[in-house]
């Protein structure tokens, strides 16, 4: 296998595994930029994956080949409603946001498994019939070298993920809404004085994060696992969280970090088919994404500069 | 109303609210909540066997709760208890199967120390990274969980020549108790409960009776003030994470030396470490509170196993209840507000 062949093989796989991480990490950027720590991303992805599969199984006869896309929409709506719980706890009830996030994670997996058992009488759903399929992107696929690497046999969901990342960057940095959202996360009292409704901004931000994590989960379940059980998401949300921090709370940074994690995951899964890497014991490939994350956090990104008011409930009148 | 009373009332009200929400979920999804909670009750207190098993379940919960609580007191959030518990589990089992013909009074403590050391190492790394590079401990401990899971699985395969089970430990390293077994109709209740309770005492002694404990708490309350007072914040962070990890590692030893007497390849996390967060929270991060939290959640978790058979309700309902309880404990501000309003009204009359 030549070096170019290896690239043709691993790059699409990396982008494929990165798509759910990108969307969820962008969701995290929105929430944390507004000052709400969101460890519940994992749980929100679980809800997204669950609703995606459930909707797909129930409505496949109605929507046919477009079912996965409609399921994405359903997952987005339900997950953003579910994230309201986190918003209520952390904004209105002034809860410890990390703890509330942990509760969201526990509740999401418990509730969806409870419903799976209630509906199907077993711990796992059946496999879906309609899934996301690979496709060539017109025109771009004909570019030499880059075409086969990036634009042939790709999932449209990957395109969606990258599109959302760019859109999020524009929204956060070049619109009044984005400026307000970031202001609320840096210095809520200043924002409040300028007439921005801090609580409302934070509610919106958390719901955006819920919606995006829901889409991320639904993409994962409808293109990678194809069913839903207790171990479907299994840490993807935490990886997205790490990608967000790695990317320094910036949408494009988060996308880059997610692509890097996607690459590490792809390596651990398809590595056994690649020359040289096939000789590495599988455990090293399995722990690779996590070890790389730790090393990257310790060595490369330097001091993490989180939004100033991240994790601090805003209490009017308190200095 | 005194502050102390409110501090006890908040978790109590949270538990009641959690159980009510659980009942509502059962009602909506077409199950009978009365039947469900009866099944839960008899799953916990039904007979000597279930009571023995319930206490057995509580044992690692106490240690996992202590681990989370100890780190919390130094202002650190240790989500890595799960991973520290897993490496402790493997270390204890490894010592248990490896050394032959050691007397029990050496072999058993050796296995326990190995577990604590493995857990401490797994806590030391995020502590060091936090102190040295200011890397957020939440992210590192989450990552360390996965590293622990995959590494211990690989090690189990290595020591068992590709199998998925280390095989039974030597009886000299076991915590099993014939006395308890006879008393509880051969449940797996073991002597570990005494170790767990002793560790509760150890945590209390460290935090309340030593200078080091005072420093740890001071760092947790205000890092800058502690530093200004001449305390070495970084050293305390590393120490707190290591001690926390040691508690978690001992929790793993309970499973390795008491409950199962082996370590096996795991497809996913045990969940004990994550439930430890709930235990610590409910217990307000105090040693005594942890006993209370572990007793409640350990009992609920074990009792839930009876629900599918006795009432046809999935066990997950108990996890839902636990999640709701954490949610309300975290949102203690609202409950406090509610209690204050209520007591003010009474005062006005």
Q: With CB atoms and an 8 Å threshold, state whether A242 touches B143.
A: yes
Nearest CB partner across the interface for B267, out of A85, A231, A303 = A231
Mutate to test the interface with B, among A92, A248, A290, A291 (most CBs of B within 10 A): A290
Residue A246: its pLDDT value, please? 82
pTM of the full structure = 0.90
Q: With CB atoms and an 8 Å threshold, state whether B139 touches A297.
A: yes
Query: Which chain B residues are closer than 8 Å to A238 by Cβ?
Result: 142-143
Whole-angstrom CA distances from B136 to A306, B116, B249, B267, B349 are 10, 23, 22, 27, 51
* Residues 6 or more apart whose Cβ sits within 8 Å of residue B209: none
* C-alpha–C-alpha distance, residues A45 and A219, integer Å: 10
CA A268 to chain centre: 20
Q: With CB atoms and an 8 Å threshold, state whether B77 touches A98.
A: yes
Residue B148: its pLDDT value, please? 96
Rounded to the nearest 5 degrees, what angle is found at the Cα of A251, between the Cα atoms of A250 and A252? 95
**What phi, psi does B165 have (nearest 5°)?**
-155, 135
Query: Which chain A residues are closer than 8 Å to B144 by Cβ?
Result: 290, 294
What one-character-per-residue DSSP string does B46-79 give?
Answer: SSHHHHHHHHHHHHHHHHHHHHHHHHHHTT---T
Residue B177: its pLDDT value, please? 87
Count the Cβ atoms, other than its own, within 10 Å of residue B41.
14
In angstroms, the separation between the Cα of residue A289 and the nearest Cα of chain B is: 9
Per-residue pLDDT of chain A (319 residues; tens, 9 = 90+): 677 777 777 888 889 999 999 999 999 999 999 999 998 999 999 999 999 999 999 999 999 889 999 999 999 999 999 999 999 999 999 888 888 998 999 999 999 999 999 999 888 898 998 888 877 777 777 777 777 777 777 888 999 999 999 999 999 999 999 999 999 999 999 999 999 999 999 999 999 999 999 999 999 999 999 999 988 888 899 889 888 988 889 999 999 999 988 988 888 777 777 777 777 788 888 888 888 888 877 876 655 567 888 888 888 877 6
Listed residue (A261, A257, A220, A236) closest to A43, CA to CA: A236
> Which is it for the CA torsion B92, B96, B98, B104, positive or negative?
positive
Minimum CA–CA partner of B152 in chain A: A283
Q: With CB atoms and an 8 Å threshold, state whether A290 touches B334.
A: no
Residue B1: its pLDDT value, please? 60
Nearest CB partner across the interface for A106, out of B29, B267, B326 = B326
Is A85 part of the contact surface with chain B (CB cutoff 8 Å)?
yes
Q: With CB atoms and an 8 Å threshold, state whether A235 touches B277.
A: no
Exposure of B178 by Cβ count < 10 A (0-12 exposed, 13-18 middle, 19+ buried)?
A: exposed
Mutate to test the interface with B, among A28, A90, A107 (most CBs of B within 10 A): A107
* C-alpha–C-alpha distance, residues A43 and B249, integer Å: 26
| In contact, B308 and B37? CB cutoff 8 Å | no
Is A292 part of the contact surface with chain B (CB cutoff 8 Å)?
no
Nearest CB partner across the interface for B323, out of A96, A107, A286 = A107
Query: Which chain A residues are closer than 8 Å to B18 by Cβ?
Result: none
Q: With CB atoms and an 8 Å threshold, state whether B320 touches A107.
A: yes
In angstroms, the separation between the Cα of residue A184 and the nearest Cα of chain B is: 21
Nearest CB partner across the interface for A106, out of B77, B268, B323 = B323
* C-alpha–C-alpha distance, residues B248 and B70, integer Å: 11
Helices (H), A64-96: 67-87
Nearest CB partner across the interface for B151, out of A111, A113, A283 = A283
* C-alpha–C-alpha distance, residues B195 and A318, integer Å: 45
Q: Using N-to-C axis directions, what is the helix angle for B233-253 and B104-133, rounded to 10°?
A: 140
* C-alpha–C-alpha distance, residues A104 and A90, integer Å: 11
* C-alpha–C-alpha distance, residues B92 and A220, integer Å: 37
Beta bridge partners of residue A134, listed in sequence order: A155
Mutate to test the interface with A, among B29, B69, B333 (most CBs of A within 10 A): B333
Chain B interface residues (partner A, CB cutoff 8 A): 25, 29-30, 77, 79, 129, 132-136, 138-140, 142-144, 146-147, 150-151, 153-154, 267-268, 274, 277-278, 281, 314, 316-317, 319-320, 322-324, 326-327, 329-334
Q: With CB atoms and an 8 Å threshold, state whether A290 touches B147.
A: yes
Average pLDDT for runs of 10 along chain B of length 349:
79 92 94 94 92 95 97 92 97 93 92 97 96 86 93 94 89 89 89 96 96 93 92 94 97 95 90 89 91 95 93 93 90 84 71
Say yes or no: domain A3-9+19-133+156-300 is CATH 1.10.10.
Answer: no
Query: Which chain B residues are closer than 8 Å to A105 by Cβ?
Result: 274
* C-alpha–C-alpha distance, residues B33 and B18, integer Å: 13
**What phi, psi does A154 have (nearest 5°)?**
-105, 165
Q: With CB atoms and an 8 Å threshold, state whether B329 touches A242.
A: no
Is A200 part of the contact surface with chain B (CB cutoff 8 Å)?
no
Query: Which chain B residues are closer than 8 Å to A241 by Cβ?
Result: 139, 142
């Amino acid at each position: 296998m030549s070096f170019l062949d290896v690239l043709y093989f691993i790059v699409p796989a990396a982008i494929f595994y990165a798509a759910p991480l990108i969307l969820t990490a962008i969701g995290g950027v929105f929430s944390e930029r507004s000052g709400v720590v969101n460890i519940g991303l994992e749980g929100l992805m679980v809800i997204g994956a669950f609703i995606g599969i459930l909707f797909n199984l129930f409505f496949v006869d109605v929507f046919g080949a477009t079912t996965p896309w409609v399921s994405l929409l359903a997952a987005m709506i339900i997950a953003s409603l579910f994230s309201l719980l986190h918003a209520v706890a952390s904004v209105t009830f002034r809860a410890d946001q990390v703890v509330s996030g942990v509760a969201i994670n526990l509740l999401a997996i418990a509730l969806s498994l409870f419903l799976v058992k209630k509906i199907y009488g077993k711990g796992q759903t059946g496999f879906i019939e309609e899934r996301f399929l690979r496709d060539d992107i017109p025109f771009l696929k004909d570019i030499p070298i880059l075409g086969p690497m990036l634009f042939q046999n790709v999932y449209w969901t990957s395109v969606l993920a990258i599109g959302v990342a760019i859109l999020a960057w524009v929204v956060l940095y070049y619109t009044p809404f984005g400026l307000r959202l970031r202001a609320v996360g840096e210095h809520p009292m200043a924002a409040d004085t300028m007439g921005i409704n801090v609580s409302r901004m934070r509610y919106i931000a958390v719901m955006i994060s819920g919606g995006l994590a829901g889409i991320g989960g639904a993409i994962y379940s409808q293109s990678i696992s194809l069913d839903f059980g207790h171990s479907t998401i299994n840490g993807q949300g935490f990886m997205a969280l790490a990608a967000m921090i790695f990317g320094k709370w910036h949408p494009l940074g988060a996308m880059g970090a997610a692509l890097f994690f996607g690459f590490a995951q792809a390596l651990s899964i398809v590595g056994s088919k690649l020359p040289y890497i096939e000789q590495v014991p599988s455990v090293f490939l399995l722990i690779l994404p996590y070890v790389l994350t730790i090393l990257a956090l310790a060595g490369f990104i330097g001091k993490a500069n989180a939004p100033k008011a991240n994790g601090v409930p805003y209490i009017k009148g308190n200095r | 109303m005194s502050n102390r009373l409110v501090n006890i009332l908040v978790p109590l009200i949270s538990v009641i609210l959690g159980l009510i929400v659980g009942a509502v979920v059962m009602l909506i999804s077409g199950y009978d909540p009365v039947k469900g909670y009866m099944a839960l009750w008899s799953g916990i207190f039904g007979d000597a066997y279930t009571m023995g098993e319930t206490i057995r379940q509580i044992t690692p919960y106490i240690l996992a709760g202590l681990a989370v609580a100890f780190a919390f007191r130094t202002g650190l959030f240790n989500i890595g208890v799960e991973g520290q518990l897993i490496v402790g589990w493997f270390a204890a089992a490894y010592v248990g199967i490896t050394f032959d013909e050691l007397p029990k009074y050496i072999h058993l403590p050796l296995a326990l120390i190995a577990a604590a050391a493995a857990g401490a190492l797994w806590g030391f790394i995020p502590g060091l990274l936090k102190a040295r590079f200011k890397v957020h401990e939440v992210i590192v401990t989450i990552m360390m969980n996965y590293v622990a899971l995959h590494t211990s699985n690989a090690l189990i395969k290595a020591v068992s020549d590709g199998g998925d089970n280390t095989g039974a430990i030597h009886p000299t390293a076991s915590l099993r108790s014939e006395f308890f077994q006879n008393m509880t109709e051969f449940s797996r209740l073991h002597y570990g409960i005494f170790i767990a309770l002793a560790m509760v005492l150890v945590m209390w002694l460290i935090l309340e009776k030593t200078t080091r404990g005072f420093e740890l708490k001071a760092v947790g309350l205000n890092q800058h003030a502690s530093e200004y007072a001449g305390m070495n914040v970084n050293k305390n962070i590393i120490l707190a994470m290591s001690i926390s990890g040691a508690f978690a590692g001992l929790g793993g030893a309970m499973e390795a030396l008491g409950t199962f007497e082996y370590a096996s390849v795991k497809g996913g996390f045990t969940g004990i470490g994550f439930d430890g967060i709930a235990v610590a929270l409910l217990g307000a991060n105090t040693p005594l509170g942890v006993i209370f939290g572990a007793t409640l959640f350990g009992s609920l978790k074990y009792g839930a196993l009876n629900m599918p058979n006795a009432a046809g309700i999935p066990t997950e309902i108990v996890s839902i209840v636990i999640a709701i309880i954490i949610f309300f404990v975290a949102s203690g501000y609202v409950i406090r507000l509610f209690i204050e309003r209520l007591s003010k009204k009474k005062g006005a009359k």
